[in-house]
A = this chain, B = another copy of it.
Amino acid sequence: MNQYYEQLLPYLERNHAYQAALALFSWDSETLAPLSAAEQTATYVGILSEEAYHVLTCDEIQHLLKKLSSPKEQDSLTVSEKAVVRLLVKEYEKLSCIPAKEYREFSELCAAAHPIYCRAKQCGTFEDFAPTLEKLIDYTRRFASYRAKKGEDLYNILLNDYEEGFTTDVLDDFFTKVRDALVPLIKKVTAKNDTINKDYNTGYYPPEIQSGFCRFLAGYLGFDFNKGVIAESEHPFTTSLHNHDVRITNHFYDDNLESAMFSLIHETGHALYEMGVEDAISGTPAGSSMSMGMHESQSRFYENMIGRSKEFWEPLFPKLKDTYPDELAHVSLDDFIAGINKAEPGPIRTEADELTYPLHILIRYELEKEIFAGNCKVSDLPDLWAKKYEEYLGITPKDASEGVLQDIHWAMGNFGYFPSYAIGSAIAAQLYDYLTGRMPLSDYLKEGNLVPIREYLRDHIHKYGAVYPTNELLKQVTGEDFNPDYYIRYLTDKYTKLYHL
């Protein structure tokens, strides 16, 4: 092993311990911690974040990264080691221009924002959260400006943290295509919405029965319960301490069959990525800094391309009917498949169907651009939000809980994150097109044989973690760059067929 790389290892190890502790505090806060603990937890998070900051920005790291970036030393590094160095340099450049004190303050603010956000959302009162949101935006803008080269767009800097290479130029093109193709398609679909009946979805579905079925589904998809756990939280999410400790959450509504089931499939898609990371890179930045778009491609692939297909449900539907014999007594497989794919504009992103989903993202993208261009004040957000929802989806949120407060991301200080959801959906469609040409996907699903699909994804995507940037990995797998045409075509074909347009 390269001597400088070897000297780097204790720093990686310490950073990993801090990141794991932070992930555990975050998981714990969302799933179990007593309400009253939040304030003190924010202090812990601030302290541990600052310690991690010091590890990642210390002089020794700077010295080692400089050495390891030289062509001479690069030659002696493995592909994974190069990726670790690349990702550490990126992180070093991001962090080292932020003063430690500000970094800690921001970390504390993010942790402290959580209960404030939750209360405001519960009451639907945007003004209770607005001052905190303003602070979060101020810090984010200031941190981005520390890093900005002359004339560089601040929002592009944020986007780059979640998805390398997907600048506003790329995203403007992408979202224009999405808007131009989907807004008229949604109008046509909405006009024929009566043709699909999904009343079955709002029967009585006891949470403990849902929980059991979801646990079965997770195992069916390949979730390894020796390396992971499932818990409950207000909103479903996935977190990972390392490849042998991957955690997903779910939320059960007793009057909704689909919500928890598709959340589970979605989060399992994320979990399979995390569990599939090779041992050799797990715990290093190359095993944990996967791009958000690539991550979302895996969850969307499982949720939509696999989980909403008729083939997937063919072997499973009898079991589902057995689980809810009364509610599903008169529902056929075809009814069910039409129902789970029904598209209907609604106010909430996380409950959106596959077709309207990207427009929720488009709206957030446009708003974030405005915020960081300085064209939009925090107090303007609820009105702007309502205007765009009306324009793109014909929807008016009834209050802030249904509108600008619905998502937790900004409260976590995550700006520039949302676009990766749409990128992920588009990558999922591109991968799906490629995979259907590589293997008898439909037959596997009909046979209830998920293994070849999961193994293929593991061998070609999961095991590499964050070793390759999204576009490079995508090209490596499919032979092609990111191409949103697959996504547009997939949605157009699917919904044209489903609604006999």
Contacts and interface: CB of A to CB of B under 8 A. Distances in A.
Given A28-B28, A44-B17, A48-B21, A34 B245 contact: yes
Interface string A206-247: 000000000000000000111111010000000001101110
A43 interface: yes
A188 interface: no
A170 interface: no
Interface string A8-33: 00000110110011001100100011
A375 interface: no
Contacts of A231: 32
List of 10 A-B pairs having minimum Cβ-Cβ separation, nearest first: A37-B245, A17-B47, A21-B21, A36-B244, A17-B44, A36-B227, A36-B226, A40-B242, A37-B244, A34-B227
A35 interface: yes
A244 B245 CA distance: 27
A229 B32 contact: yes
Contacts of A16: 44
Nearest to A228: B34
A226 B39 CA distance: 13
Contact of A21 (B25, B37, B40, B244): B25
A83 to B, nearest CB: 20
B245 A14 contact: no
A37 B227 contact: yes
B48 A226 contact: no
Nearest to A283: B40
Nearest to A282: B40
Nearest to A31: B32
A44 B36 CA distance: 26
A433 interface: no
B25 A44 contact: no
B34 A21 contact: no
A51 interface: yes
Contact of A25 (B24, B33, B34, B39): B24
A34 B242 contact: no
Interface in A171-223: none
B47 A13 contact: yes
B229 A36 contact: no
